[in-house]
Structure 1
Amino acid sequence: MSAVPRVMIIGCGDVGSRLGLQLHAAGWQVHGLRRTVERLPAGIQPVAGDLNAALAPADWPREPLDYVVYTAAATTHDETGYRAAYVEGLRHTFGWLKQHGQVPRRLLFVSSSGVYGQQNGEWVDETSATEPSGYTGRVLLEAEQMAQASGIPATAVRLSGIYGPGREWLLNQVRQGYRVASEPPLYGNRIHAGDAAGLLACLLNIDNKGGALDPIYIGVDDEPAPLYEVVTWLRERLGVTHWAEEATVRRAGSKRCRNARARALGWKPQYPSYREGYTALLESASVNVAK
């Protein structure tokens, strides 16, 4: 156990910044890498870097790193963009560590439930088959496997449906009259951004105290729910009565993710379902409007 553990958060955006602030408050030394370091909150030591670069960033810390958390996001949503962010970016990160002779105690790789290909409302957990039908899941699975083969102990954290302040896609769609098929139910999984960061912090703290981690965890709230149910609930809260003219949306994916392995560690989401999470989001928005 390090007296002052050092962590590097690669791709330190919303979830990464939330994580960094939690760790900083707990006494960790936190470094955050992103292109625009001006957006990093105080308490996170900025490292300006480009995941496309083979040479380590000039601001890369010289002292040993205990942990690396890889939370990068694709800047373009096509296969080339995904491969650049998750596979090549991770490869460059391993190169940067090697350039500085650093061997972290563990890498957390933030992945997605998109690695699962189930589409008929099946329950899935960390032992379920991973047979993604789209490039997003295939690329993430390749990156997970690269992390596991890196020689650094690695844990993939498969998040799903992250929402919160600044992540309000569904709210905006509902306001526009979003139509969703009710039958068969299209199950979705979600996690509030704060709970996603809390899970990552939980994993790091357990490892830093000498606890054992599994190679994979699913990060979702306690209640997978049909999208139609979520949309109906949000329509009522938002007072939306109209429907969009476009045809009813029918997404391809439908699965229910279990969080039992993560909860067995002692982690529990602050927002156990979409109801608590979106209630907090809507109340926060109301307060901001009032100001």
Structure 2
Amino acid sequence: MSSPSVLIAGCGDVGSRLAKQLLAAGWDVFGLRRNVSRLPDGVTGVAGDLFSEECPANWPVGAIDYVVYCAAATDHDEEGYRQAYVQGLQNVLGWLNDYGQAPERLVFVSSSSVYGQQGGEWVDESSETAASGYSGRLMLEAEQVALNSGIPASVLRLTGIYGPGREWLLTQVRRGYRVAVEPPLYGNRIHADDAAGLLAFLLEKDRQGVKLEDYYIGVDDAPAPLAEVVGWLREYLGVTEWADDASVRRTGSKRCSNARVKALGWLPTYPTYREGYAAILEGKC
């Protein structure tokens, strides 16, 4: 039996972590990004720009069993998001069509920003999607491009990704970051290794013949109030000073459920922020 193949379009941080896991499992991995020198060893580089309609010169010509689309916006404005998630996906689908390639499944990496809940509600894949900002609205549009592509597709809505190199909150806590305590501002997160692991898990389930749903949420086991997370990090880091400015409150507050992926058998390596941040601070991930 030949090795399964996957094209990871937008093979950045999470994509590279996914590539390493799949390579270890015996997959043939193609990674599409502008600078292929930054791809992990063992990945076949496909140098190309997702934002351009021009097909990469070294696009793989054989069969591609799976496609994972996990691009990141270069410009964080409405046009940047449209290019990265809608137009980029349309370009990849067009290139697949040009080469007569019909993958077994497309997995589109979306975001929990598609949910607009603000009152700490629990949300799952069946919850209303009423995105308030352009990022969520464009993610919803891109999701439909994937699901209507003619290729069997699943959407993975990832929550806040953290990990080595994604340490904004740690930096803020060290500076004395203040957050509102009441009402609680719930946040949702997933370690970058778990985000990649969940993608690999879904691909393997599809290979095994398991019928996948259209939508999944990628989140750890314990959404928590931001004030609780900050308090734990302050104690762990030994931070005793507070910043002079007033408490910070971001918009949006919801608790995302991972019940659907856990019912398939997925278990996160870092089930809560405690294990994940401890691993980062101890240099174990």
Alignment TM-score > 0.5, same fold: yes
1:154-189 Cα shifts (integer Å, max 9, x gaps): 100000110000000100111111110000000000
| DSSP-derived class of the 1:3 partner | coil
| DSSP-derived class of the 1:145 partner | helix
Q: Partner residue of 1:160?
A: 159
The answer to whether 1:273 aligns with 2:249 is no
Query: Quick one: distance in 1 between partners of 2:246 and 2:234?
Result: 18
Cα distance, 1:103 vs structure 2: 1.0
Letter in 2 for 1:127: S
Query: Quick one: distance in 1 between partners of 2:177 and 2:80?
Result: 28
Cα distance, 1:55 vs structure 2: 2.2
Q: Partner residue of 2:227?
A: 228
Cα distance, 1:245 vs structure 2: 1.7
Q: Partner residue of 1:118?
A: 117
| DSSP-derived class of the 1:109 partner | strand
Aligned residues: 285
Q: Partner residue of 1:197?
A: 196
Q: How does 1:75-114 map to 2 (within 5 A)?
A: 75-114=74-113
Q: Partner residue of 2:172?
A: 173
1:130-151 Cα shifts (integer Å, max 9, x gaps): 0000011000010001111111
Q: Partner residue of 1:185?
A: 184
Query: Quick one: distance in 1 between partners of 2:224 and 2:155?
Result: 24
Q: Partner residue of 1:5?
A: 4
Letter in 1 for 2:104: R
Letter in 1 for 2:186: Y
Letter in 2 for 1:104: P
Which one is further off, 227-236 or 237-246?
Answer: 237-246
The answer to whether 1:135 aligns with 2:134 is yes
Query: Quick one: distance in 2 between partners of 1:99 and 1:192?
Result: 36
Give 5+ residue unaligned stretches, structure 2: none
Query: Quick one: distance in 2 between partners of 1:116 and 1:60?
Result: 35
| DSSP-derived class of the 1:256 partner | strand
* TM-score, normalised via structure 1 length: 0.96
Cα distance, 1:209 vs structure 2: 1.6
Q: Partner residue of 2:33?
A: 34
Identity %: 68
Cα distance, 1:210 vs structure 2: 1.3
Letter in 1 for 2:270: Y
Which one is further off, 243-252 or 167-176?
Answer: 243-252
Letter in 2 for 1:158: R
Q: Tell me how large the CA RMSD over aligned residues is.
A: 1.1
Cα distance, 1:3 vs structure 2: 2.9
Query: Quick one: distance in 1 between partners of 2:155 and 2:233?
Result: 32
The answer to whether 1:263 aligns with 2:259 is no
Cα distance, 1:267 vs structure 2: 0.6
- Contact 1:56–1:99 under 8 Å retained in 2: no
Letter in 1 for 2:237: L
- Contact 1:47–1:59 under 8 Å retained in 2: yes
Letter in 2 for 1:111: S
